[in-house]
Amino acid sequence: MTTDQISQFEKKIIIRNIEREDFDKIIELQNICFPNMHPWTKDQLESHIRIFPEGQICVELDGEIIGSCSSLIVNFDDYLEQHTYSEITDKGYIRNHNRRGESLYGMEVMVHPDFRRMKIGRRLYEARKRLAEKLNLKSIIVGGRIPGYHHYSDKMSPRDYAEEVLQQNIYDPVLTFQMMNGFTLKRIITNYLSDDADSKNYAALLEWNNIEYKPNINKTHYKMSFPVRICVIQYMMKKIDSFEEFATQCEHYVDVASDYKSDFAVFPENFRMQLLSFLDERSPSLAIRKLSTFTTNYVELFSELAVKYNVNIVGGSHFVENNNRIYNVAHLFRRDGSIEQQYKLHISPNERKWWGINGGSKLQVFDTDCGKISIQLSSDIEYPEISRIVAEEGAQIIFVPFCAEDRQTFLRVKYCAQARAIENQVFTVTAGTVGNLTHVDNVDIQYAQSGIYTPADFSFSRDGIAGECSENTETVIMVEVDMETLQRYRKSTDALTFRDRRTDIYSLQIRS
């Protein structure tokens, strides 16, 4: 036979990650496999591949999807022994995915009925195991349905049923399959999945242990607390005579932050405007373009400081010229030497009028060694959609460098930062400028009271304020926030402003 003749007999099975183009086929497959249960929505599937794309896997045969599985990473100690499917999957949106967790949690496995003799399910389970090994996870945990139980529910308890399946006296299409794939039964969960009538809402909690697991390799696990120390710099705007003088002031503050073993040092928005006090240019628009020529000096300085002093620096903002347009850009200088940028999205009337600033078009969430963060420059914090989106992306701290010329402008930033902390159950950090620059047009006066804000509840500081600077004073504050407390609080039964939002009737998305 020729190669062409042989090829007509080939069946090409591909195991790959799910993509957006697969959503309709995944939903169709779910309706076939679980006809009496609610399928994923496209919003949920979008959330899966946005938050943890590696954990969403499908099997393709000759271009058709015939099987799939979904998962997330959890620290299982964070959940009660009798958790529900909705709780551990965040109502199917997996925003509780914890990249620092120890276990891969399997949400579902489904195989088209016409292909259930081709070991498609086993291939999916093997793909999960390889993923757990690749990510150095301790185990895979699943809340397995027991769909055969309704035939025996009048004769035996779910525990007895599971025991009979384990002894191979009863065949259960799910539990038997999981046993054959190396999973061990941990316990029975009650009221696990509300629309699983065949299992009578019970499930078997099963676990597969990764024998290749290496404790504490490339990962830090935090059980009781995960403190992050933040140094907020309320920066004094005053006349200077050179970039070297500016650099000396900045290094002083980073040194202070490092002395107190801070994880983050946070500078205000526009504090580089201080350089204009020695640049001979009275026209505001031309002065800003001159200021942008210091971009290389600024980036080199702060990148060196972050590495030298071992502190992540939220470097306020700097005016950057791209394609003959000026942007207000925040920089994150990680202590490992890497650098990120967040362009200001919402430009104030003064920025347009005086300096010709343009708004950015990309919203980002940054990974750091202290968790995921977002940077929102000044007025960006006044738009609640922005904070909600980054919180859904996993941000736990929102840094807000700002520059305000009067008390009213400052209060808008402060109150909105506090509101965002409550709405999204995150920490927010504001850092503003004080003082004045008498030699620079449109940077006349400054007003600030920088602070660190928390959700307003019993787990946190009184009044939702972890710390605040004195008003209009050149100073710093050092505050520790506990990321583990925040994680536990998000799962509490008290204020549930983030977890209980009605995503069935409203949602947010970024237009590409």
User: Tokens at residue 421, please?
Assistant: 């902390």
What 3-state DSSP class applies to 221?
coil
What 3-state DSSP class applies to 460?
coil
Structural domain span for residue 21: 11-209
Claim to verify: residue 241 and residue 113 sit in the same structural domain = no
Claim to verify: residue 118 and residue 254 sit in the same structural domain = no
Largest pairwise CA distance in the chain: 91
Cβ contacts of 157 within 8 Å, gap of 6 or more? none
Claim to verify: residue 301 and residue 434 sit in the same structural domain = yes
The residue out of 159, 181, 209 marking a domain boundary is 209
pLDDT in tens for each of the 512 residues of the chain? 444 544 444 457 789 999 999 999 999 999 999 888 888 899 999 999 999 999 999 999 888 999 999 999 998 877 766 788 888 898 899 988 988 889 999 999 999 999 887 788 888 999 999 999 999 999 999 998 999 999 999 999 999 999 999 899 999 988 998 888 889 998 899 988 888 889 998 999 999 999 889 886 555 444 456 889 999 999 999 888 899 999 999 999 999 999 998 999 999 999 988 888 887 766 777 877 888 888 889 999 999 999 889 899 999 998 888 888 899 999 999 988 889 999 999 998 888 877 788 989 999 999 898 989 999 999 999 999 999 999 988 899 999 999 998 999 999 999 999 999 999 999 999 999 999 887 776 677 889 999 999 998 888 888 899 999 999 999 999 999 998 888 778 766 466 677 777 777 877 777 75
Claim to verify: residue 204 and residue 234 sit in the same structural domain = no
Residue reference for tokens 């290496």: 214
Q: In this structure, what CATH number is given to the domain that contains residue 70? A: 3.40.630.30
Claim to verify: residue 238 and residue 197 sit in the same structural domain = no
- Number of independent structural domains in the chain: 2
Claim to verify: residue 290 and residue 194 sit in the same structural domain = no
For residue 184, tell me if it sits in a domain: yes
Phi and psi at residue 237, to the nearest 5°: -85, 115
Whether residue 359 contacts residue 339, with contact meaning beta carbons closer than 8 Å, is answered with no
Whether residue 425 contacts residue 489, with contact meaning beta carbons closer than 8 Å, is answered with yes
